[in-house]
Amino acid sequence: MGAVPLIFTSGWASGINAYAVVLLLGLFGRYGGADSVPPVLERTDVLLAAGALFLCEAVLDKIPYVDTVWDAVHTVVRPIAGATVGALLAAHDPGSLGEVAAGAVGGTTALLSHGIKASLRMAVNTSPEPASNILLSLAEDLSVAGLVTLAVFHPWLAASTAAVLLALGALLVWFAVTRIRRFWLRRKERRARRRAATGTVAAG
């Protein structure tokens, strides 16, 4: 079961930024002496591809509404990446979960965290200013980097933190959706009152 916490954490992180996960794991495996990283992630072509895509995401993910389109495209990409990394980690550690089970854990966790990320981004995009979007994106990048780094050296602590972040993210989505719904209801009520007032004046 040694790879289970790393599988869970990498799944959570893949749902936020899959390219950063592949890049960081590959770098830790190649230059940091992390034995838990599969050799395939340390390959030069994999690192170069992950690095290029990470740079693209680092830019596009900070532009309001462009990030929503990017998230929509990655609804498929991120869970597949989480499942693939999970299966590779399990294959590299034969004493842990089976590859299919590990892929299911990584993919499901990635899908959940991706859903939370995409929902929060849609909520933030209702604000006209770009600062909150950029700050949220930076916080996501830092959390992925921190959790993946922690997972390599302290996997169970990282997995516990990822589970807490998953729960907190779900609560934030619920809170954001509730607030947005109230905002639109109040706006609709104000419009209805204005129309009613305009109609009364016209009738008078």
Q: How far apart are CA 157 and CA 195, in angstroms?
A: 57
Give a yes or no: residue 123 inside a domain: yes
Q: Indicate whether 202 belongs to any domain.
A: no
Domain span at 50? 4-176
Q: Which residues contact 173 (CB under 8 A, 6 or more apart)?
A: 116, 119, 120, 123
Q: Each residue of 75-112: pLDDT tens digit? A: 999 999 999 999 999 998 877 778 899 999 999 999 99
In the chain, which residues have pLDDT < 50? none
Q: Is residue 46 part of a domain?
A: yes
Block residue for tokens 């998953």: 166
Tokens of 19: 């390219």
Q: Is residue 96 part of a domain?
A: yes
Dihedral angle, C-alpha 119, 121, 127, 129, nearest 10 °: 180
**181 in a structural domain:** no
Number of domains the chain is built from: 1
pLDDT at 97: 77
185 within a domain of the structure (yes/no)? no
- Decide if 188 is inside a domain: no
pLDDT at site 26? 95
Residues belonging to the chain: 204
Specify the pLDDT at position 3: 86
Cβ within 8 Å of residue 152, ≥6 positions away: 6, 25, 28, 32, 34, 36, 37
Q: Is residue 76 part of a domain?
A: yes
Q: Is the dihedral of CA 70, 72, 77, 80 positive or negative?
A: positive
Rounded Cα gap, residues 132 and 130, in angstroms: 6
